[in-house]
Amino acid sequence: MNYFTKEWFEEAQISRFLLFPETKKEWDENVAWHVSEGLHFEEIQLNRLQIAKKDLLRFLPAFFHPYIQDGTLNSQFPSEELKKMADQWRMEYDERTKAKGISYRNYYNSIKCSLPENAIQLFEKSLHDARVTSIEMPMKDAFIIKLDCRGGYHYGTDVTLTFAGVKKLQPHSLSVGSIWLYDEVYLTDTGFELHVLFDGPLMEFTISAENVTIEVIS
**Contact criterion met (CB below 8 Å) for 163 and 138:** no
Q: What is the pLDDT of residues 104-119, one digit of tens each?
A: 999 999 999 999 999 9
pTM, two decimal places: 0.90
* Angle (CA) 113 119 120, round 5°: 50
Q: Would you say 195 and 99 are in contact if contact means Cβ atoms under 8 Å apart?
A: no
**How far is 89 from 1, CA to CA, in rounded Å?**
24
Give per-residue pLDDT as tens, 48-58: 999 999 999 99
Low-confidence ranges of the chain (pLDDT < 70): 1
- The domain ranges of the chain are 6-109, 116-217
Q: What pLDDT is stored for residue 163 in this prediction? A: 98
Residue 93 near residue 101 (C-beta atoms within 8 A):
no
